[in-house]
Structure 1
């Protein structure tokens, strides 16, 4: 008689990451994302695009391969696959609304083949200053970022915070959304 497996083959559990931003050794605007075992999963590099006023933030995997390039132009952000800036490789557009010095909202629209065909996919609400936000897909929470609190410590660092990504969501896409929310002015 064969026994049933005790553990499922694919766990549907949230994944925690540690995000480090603006720490010594990182230049301004750069960010690293580590898993629970402190292994580097993603890194972010910032730069200006040639002589234009465009700001570019590039999301790389642990090996240094470009996953998503985010470009700030015309009052919003656009995300592209790899190093491309071609509209055929567009993944999303995003627009940030600042409601107060401590609160902001970001709306992320996924592309469906052209700029005319886009749909609201994610909403991000929170405080970039406090390094906390919640990412929603429709009415469901898909990820959350929170500062690392320590017992007995009144002041906490804004340079290191926790990110929890819930099941069935692309971790690289969530990382790119966080780059825009926390680092895109």
Structure 2
């Protein structure tokens, strides 16, 4: 049984980025905000480490269920977020809930493709209390198919960048647990496009929880 402990704070990134004007908090009000830029590496087992190799997060999967589910866990194994893909939706909607909950009042965010047909990965991300049509965050694909930027709403305010599926560059004062949770959805979309049939490739599929 996992024991709760203080999160491992990643060391500062070597690069510098301008800080967000206001803190961006989705999952953790304090523990997942850094006053400095953060760079994270994602290996083939979907273990997320800082630039010193210290484990920060890990993602597990449960595929033998009505919904494909992902579990974002901290280094101690505590579940922070569970994400599930809603089946039979035209835009491939994902929902993220706090901890292991499935209750609507624990909905953290939803993400879906911005357009039904698109050549680059583009997602609209809505916070759980957003019932409107204007997204709180946008994911926009870059020149490379496996690279993209995470922006604040419809603005050009950069929150994070994904480089080649295996690296994250996150701006100061941005909830990096949220960015990693969103990365789960981003990689699913990239992998689905690569496979051509909506299947999730071996980058994620290797983790099946028995419970």
Q: TM-score range by the shorter chain?
A: 0.7 to 0.9
CA contact (8 A) 1:110 1:118 kept: no
> In the alignment, is residue 62 of structure 1 matched against residue 67 of structure 2?
no
> In the alignment, is residue 177 of structure 1 matched against residue 196 of structure 2?
no
Report what 2:105 is aligned to.
88
Rounded to whole Å, the distance in 2 between the matches of 1:109 and 1:79 is 10
Residue 116 of structure 1, CA deviation: 3.8
Which one has the bigger helix percentage? Answer: 2
Which one has the bigger strand percentage? Answer: 1
Alpha carbons of 1:87 and 1:49: their partners in 2 closer, same or farther (altered >3 Å)?
farther
**Two-structure CA RMSD over aligned residues (Å):** 2.4
Report what 1:109 is aligned to.
126
Rounded to whole Å, the distance in 2 between the matches of 1:11 and 1:111 is 23
TM-score, reference length from structure 1: 0.72
Report what 1:135 is aligned to.
150
Alpha carbons of 1:41 and 1:11: their partners in 2 closer, same or farther (altered >3 Å)?
closer
CA contact (8 A) 1:18 1:162 kept: yes
- Higher relative contact order at CA 8 Å, sep ≥6: structure 1 or structure 2? 2
* Structure 1 stretches of at least 4 aligned residues deviating more than 6 Å after TM superposition: none
| Structure with larger Rg | 1
TM-score, reference length from structure 2: 0.64
Unmatched tracts of structure 1, length 5 or more: 1-9, 148-157
Unmatched tracts of structure 2, length 5 or more: 1-32, 193-211
Report what 2:38 is aligned to.
15
Instruction: Give the alignment of 1:147-162 within 5 angstroms.
Output: 147=164, 161-162=166-167
Partner of 1:173: helix, strand, or coil?
helix
Residue 132 of structure 1, CA deviation: 1.0
Task: State how many pairs are aligned.
Answer: 150
